[in-house]
Amino acid sequence: MLSRLFSILAISLLCVFSFASAQAAEACESVEKDGWQVVEQSCKVGAGLWSKRPIKNEGRFWVQCGVVSQLPKPWFKKEVEAVLMQDKLVFRQEGNQYRCLVGPFERYSEAEIVKDVMKQRKVFASAFIRDISQPEKATKLSQSSKPKKTAVVKASKPAKTERRYIDVGSLKSPKPELNEPRYSAKQNVWWRATLREANQACRQDGMKLVSESTLKTLSSTPDWKSTYPSRLPYWVAEMRAFDVVMGLSMPLSLESALLVLCEPQ
């Protein structure tokens, strides 16, 4: 009798948990509004971590990119597309305001990479990570005006670069340093790096990670096969991997060690 009671209790708790999980998932399902994906205020976003790190890397994390009084204008899409895949961006409606969010991510390390890449753009300079496992603080949102379009200041080319590079036309490929992953092909040794490492290497020498459009154009030229390796994907500025053989972006882990090309700012 007692064991039957525990079984019924366990089933009841499972049903309650499943119902709550279904409600949470439904609350975070987005609908299109004025060209943007919008979720309900009941969608949990957790508390801001700021300079803190979670105990576990696994969980659910959002990157917050601001709070605005109205959904952004079309020019904002270009800022988004410059640093991330737009299907990860949502706005949570909170009364007459909208919270800009990217995610959710199942690993803190992935959210951190996305945050660092976003902060390269002035419009996302205040981006930070939120942990869903932490209760959201009921603080009053500070109303901000719509995002202001800011001019991107081009970095001047430094006199001395931090790394050595393979010159490949108008692009440069960072050479691997001691004990770094590498790939030998086309009579050269090519560096393999994570997305964060690739971005950092290009940025510190006044360049940027090659864009997908540039890589597509370049890989269609006659000189591509004789100059560039193609057996491994490349990281591109849109924060994803791109396979030049298939001509497609690939959903690889942001920690994958892929090939790197930098282009001028």
Is residue 14 situated within a structural domain? Answer: no
- Give the largest CA-CA distance in the chain: 81
Q: Closest Cα partner for 143 from 100, 96, 76?
A: 96
Condensed to tens digits (0 to 9), the pLDDT of residues 148-178 reads 444 444 444 444 557 899 888 788 999 998 8
Is residue 57 situated within a structural domain? Answer: yes
Model confidence at 210, pLDDT cuts 50, 70, 90, reads: very high
Give burial (CB, 10 Å; 0-12/13-18/19+) of 21.
Answer: exposed
- Is the pLDDT higher at 110 or at 78? 110
Is residue 152 situated within a structural domain? Answer: no
Q: Domain count of the chain?
A: 2
Residues 124 and 175 in one domain: no
Is residue 8 situated within a structural domain? Answer: no
Is the model's pLDDT at 264 over the cut of 50? yes
Residues 257 and 173 in one domain: yes
What's the confidence (pLDDT) of residue 101?
92
Give the C-alpha separation, 165 to 163, whole Å: 6
- For residue 174, the domain's CATH number is 3.10.100
* Residue that finishes a domain, picked among 131, 152, 187: 131
Is residue 82 situated within a structural domain? Answer: yes
Is the model's pLDDT at 137 over the cut of 70? no
Give the C-alpha separation, 16 to 91, whole Å: 28
Label the pairing between strands 207-209 and 234-236: unpaired
Domain residue limits at 37: 30-131
Residues 124 and 194 in one domain: no
Residues 200 and 115 in one domain: no
Model confidence at 209, pLDDT cuts 50, 70, 90, reads: very high
What's the confidence (pLDDT) of residue 161?
58
Is residue 188 situated within a structural domain? Answer: yes
71: left (phi over 0), alpha (psi -120 to 50) or beta: beta
Give the C-alpha separation, 62 to 82, whole Å: 19
**Sole residue written with tokens 């002035």:** 122
Mean pLDDT score, 138-157 = 46
Is residue 105 situated within a structural domain? Answer: yes
Model confidence at 260, pLDDT cuts 50, 70, 90, reads: very high
Model confidence at 225, pLDDT cuts 50, 70, 90, reads: confident
Model confidence at 120, pLDDT cuts 50, 70, 90, reads: confident
- For residue 86, the domain's CATH number is 3.30.70
Residues 111 and 190 in one domain: no
Residues 121 and 176 in one domain: no
To the nearest whole percent, how much of the chain has pLDDT over 70? 78
Q: For the chain, give the mean pLDDT.
A: 77
Q: Closest Cα partner for 89 from 106, 69, 107, 72?
A: 72
Condensed to tens digits (0 to 9), the pLDDT of residues 35-81 reads 888 999 889 999 988 878 888 888 999 999 888 888 888 777 777 76
What's the confidence (pLDDT) of residue 63?
92
Is the model's pLDDT at 14 over the cut of 70? no
Q: Phi then psi for 241, rounded to 5 degrees?
A: -90, 145
The segment with the largest mean pLDDT, out of 92-96, 141-145, 243-247, is 92-96
Is residue 150 situated within a structural domain? Answer: no
* Residue that finishes a domain, picked among 110, 131, 152: 131
Residues 97 and 188 in one domain: no
What sign has the CA pseudo-torsion 71, 31, 212, 177?
positive
- Is the pLDDT higher at 120 or at 193? 193
The segment with the largest mean pLDDT, out of 22-31, 118-127, 241-250, is 241-250
